[in-house]
Structure 1
């Protein structure tokens, strides 16, 4: 159906997102930035178009038996109103409110406003990505609550004799509001469908299972594996003629030598190096430094061995003393 010429010129090439009949030839058209109300020519008035920008701070509604008034409050710029048949009010409020939420940055570009529900002084808007809730005389103002579906992990509906409690679990906490039983079913179906579609699941059971898996993954500690540092250092081959540190040739110390302290460990490693003829390099071209055949070195090794033996004797005496003490304690001394 073509639009009147006066409407087409008022659109300024903007697309029409919604179109609602207001009785007779009167129309309400919603664009991304404005609501246009077209009044056809009548006996008492000429053809006209009124524009209502969507950057309103408040949207209010006053309902009469036959007519309702929608008021957009622009703060310091005042208020502007238009009338619509009461029976068409819900169809009018839905696209107008969607335009205002988008203009005010409540919804993101590309986000779809799916349903609008009005329960006395409670307005609930379900979009493709969030639930917006406003409590008060106005349909919407800047004092509103929103729950993004990315944070919603569960939905529940507790039916009472008059109203149904809608329970939304958001980031581990529960948020509640009530809807009259005669309208609660429509809200339930619309909200569940939107949340499940957002999370890519078929129903609430799948949503709960998916969010439970996410919680388990989040609880897993990332540092449970054993770290061995950066591993062994590279073999240093920077010495002249390919010589390497003789530590690579040393055999492991014995248990008694390990108890003897640093001096004993040094003596044991030195003794092991002198006793091991296999340098471990084969035909690689590397040669072990070995032990230099020098009288001074031999004396040092002998002294170290004596020190190790003396330390072992002291350890044995200490061990005997400890065993004696344990025995006396057992006897109650």
Structure 2
């Protein structure tokens, strides 16, 4: 369908992401950067077009019986409003809100806004990569929550007499919100389809299995890293031989000095097989300080072994619990 000349001129080759007929010849067009509201010439008014940039900090809606007013607040630059037929409000709000979320950097390039739901003071936006939730009288402002599907490991829906609770498992916590029963099915289908498509699975059961398997793999990798890290003894006792006092240095009495002068010309026999390698045999150690050091080393080794055993038991218990959940 062709566009009025005024609209084509204003677009200036910018692509149109959405088009909504507002009745008569009036149009609303959404581009990547702005919303255009075109009013056709009438008996009491001339043809006109208004532009509303998407870099708004606030989106509000007031519904009347016949007309609905959409407000875009630009902070220090003030706010601007436009009206649409109440019957077309949902068709208008969805692409406008998608443009604002993209312009504010909340959604990424190429990310698709699947569905928008408004329940009194709760707004839910389902995209191809995340769920955005806003609570308050505004449809959206900068006080919002988002849950990326990367972190969603389970979905559940608890039906009540009036409303249905939507339960998202995000990491190690659960996030809940309620939707009226008359719209619960639509929201459920949209959310399940989006999350499962993101993870490449067919249904919620497959999602649970996939995320459980991933969690087990992560645990096993972390356990392997932990086991490698705990082998080190840190700054514990030094290895044997490095702190054994030199017998020649420990006794410097004159008598021994004389004895050395009768023997220094003769090479010492290689009784221990170390030769001239620079290492010495530990031999039999009678020094109390060395014995105490050996005991401390033995105690450190025993404590490390006990700690490794406790960690292994904890790891096995965690893996078993994860398997039971799957």
The TM-score with structure 2 as length reference comes to 0.70
Q: State how far apart, in whole Å, the 2-side matches of 1:297 and 1:124 are.
A: 90
Q: Describe the SS at the equivalent of 1:209.
A: helix
For residue 12 of structure 2, what is the aligned residue in structure 1?
12
Unaligned 5+ residue runs, structure 1? 230-295, 303-310, 312-333
Provide the secondary structure at the position in 1 that maps to 2:224: coil
Show CA shifts across 1:180-214 (max 9, x none).
Answer: 00001000000000000001111111110111011
SS in 2 for 1:222: helix
Offset, 1:3: 0.3
Alignment of 1:1-333 (within 5 A): 1-220=1-220, 221-223=223-225, 224=227
Give the Cα separation in 2 of the matches to 1:126 and 1:192: 10
Distance 1:95 1:24 in 2: 21
Work out the CA distance in 2 between the residues paired with 1:134 and 1:203: 27
Q: 1:197 to 1:300 in 2, by over 3 A?
A: closer
Give the structure with higher Rg (CA): 1
Aligned residues: 241
Instruction: Give the distance between the partners of 2:3 and 2:204, measured in 1 at CA.
Output: 44
* Alpha-carbon separation, structure 2, partners of 1:210 and 1:299: 69
Give distance in 1, aligned partners of 2:169 and 2:77: 39
The two structures, once aligned, show a CA RMSD in angstroms of 2.5
2: CA distance, partners of 1:58 / 1:226: 50
Q: Tell me which stretches of 4 or more aligned residues in structure 1 moved more than 6 Å.
A: 225-229, 296-300
Counterpart secondary structure, 1:98? helix
> Helix, strand or coil for the counterpart of 2:32?
coil
Deviation at 1:222, TM superposition (A): 2.3
- Distance in 1 between the 2:124 and 2:54 partners? 19
CA distance in 2, matches of 1:62, 1:300: 100
Tell me which moved more, 220-229 or 155-164.
Answer: 220-229
CA 1:298–1:73 in structure 2 vs 1: closer, same or farther (change >3 Å)? Answer: closer
1:103 Cα deviation (Å)? 0.5
Distance (Å, rounded) in 2 between the aligned partners of 1:226 and 1:75: 52
Separation in structure 2 between the aligned mates of residue 228 and residue 178 of structure 1, nearest angstrom: 50
Structure 2 runs not aligned, ≥5 long: 233-265, 273-283, 285-326
